[in-house]
Amino acid sequence: MNADGSGVRLLTPKLDRSIDALEWAGNGAIYVQYDDRGATKVARVGLDGSMKTVAEGLTAGAHFDRPYTGGGFSVSANGKIAYTAGSASEPADLWVTGGGAGKRLTDLNGTWIDAKAMAPVRKLPVTAPDGRAIDAWLVTPPGLKPGQKVPLILEIHGGPNAAYGPSFSTDYQLYAAHGYAVLYTNPRGSTSYGEEFANLIDRAYPGTDYDDLMAAVDAAIADGVADPNNLFVTGGSGGGVLTAWIVGKTDRFKAAASQKPVINWISEALTMDSTPFTSRYWFDKKPWEDPMSYWKRSPLSLVGNVKTPTLVVVGAEDYRTPDSESEQYYAALQIRGVPTAMVKVPGASHGGIAARPSQSAAKASAILAWFDKYRTDAKKDAPLVSD
């Protein structure tokens, strides 16, 4: 648009993705960052509407516990782009490109990585019951032999409007080193697949995203890696909601760990740190106007079905999904006699439950200890870190 606000025009009418960051490059172009099918890219957008990808493979440079999409970039006056990029087996480093192949400038974790046996990560084809293709990735223990079956952890991303990608994850590497395969997916509602896919769960969450997750587990079993008798499930925030929802719908998992979940949408809507948000954007009416809509989508409504031993994890200073949500679920499971435990991470907020290395390690260790308690394969007592 012009400096006075007139002449507004859309430059990317055909881009069905969200722009996450942008930088001017003189008066001739804008550089933008966006996610596409779990991959983060930088593109040059001309003021004539032309668009060209100039960098790919961006990964987040600050948070490593789970493989969320993200990254950072900057543009110099002469058009060179500096950006963060890594892989599923390496944390982010600094790269630079002038428009061609990127050049790696740093090797921040080389000495540390070289001394580790990293778990391989590969794409797993998944088809939902309605025929949609669902992106999923399978992390397998280092040294896994062909045909060998191992316990599987389904780990679910938060949001739920967010996305995972083929990025480095300390949690997954730790789980794999302990003998677990890890399955992670972008079920419907995930970003980076366009507006229609993201809005499939609009005012219908949790819902058919459950079917996508179960299809992914079935695919991991069919692949020959996952032991169907040793399945586990965990996730944080939106993933914590779905974890609690899953154990209310099926008994196929040996144990679960619901992290910082919403358990009761009515109480969450009235106690979270942005109280107008839930009732404004996730439901059609206020809680007192249509309480049954909130109840039907609350994991607490299914707690009478739960038989799966379920750990509850939350930050002591979580105001997004307040610790009272986790306390409700813990109490309900206790009343029903379902094996449960509750972990509060001291000083941790919602987004910062793993902000400190000590918090991240404690969270992952608690989940591993809970799963190991119910694991029945021969490697139950394996060391925490592989040889």
Task: Cite the active site residues.
Answer: 237, 350
Q: Give start and end residues of each alpha helix (H) in the chain.
A: 110-114, 170-177, 195-198, 209-222, 238-249, 265-271, 276-281, 291-296, 323-336, 357-374
Kind of pairing between the strands at 51-58 and 29-36: unpaired
CA-CA distance, 36 to 40, in Å (whole number)? 6
Sole residue written with tokens 């963060």: 84
Cβ atoms within 10 Å, residue 346: 10
How far is residue 253 from each of residues 137, 162, 215, 273, 280, measured CA to CA in Å?
19, 24, 14, 32, 34
CA-CA distance, 235 to 157, in Å (whole number)? 6
- From the list 185, 175, 187, the residue with the least C-alpha distance to 211 is 187
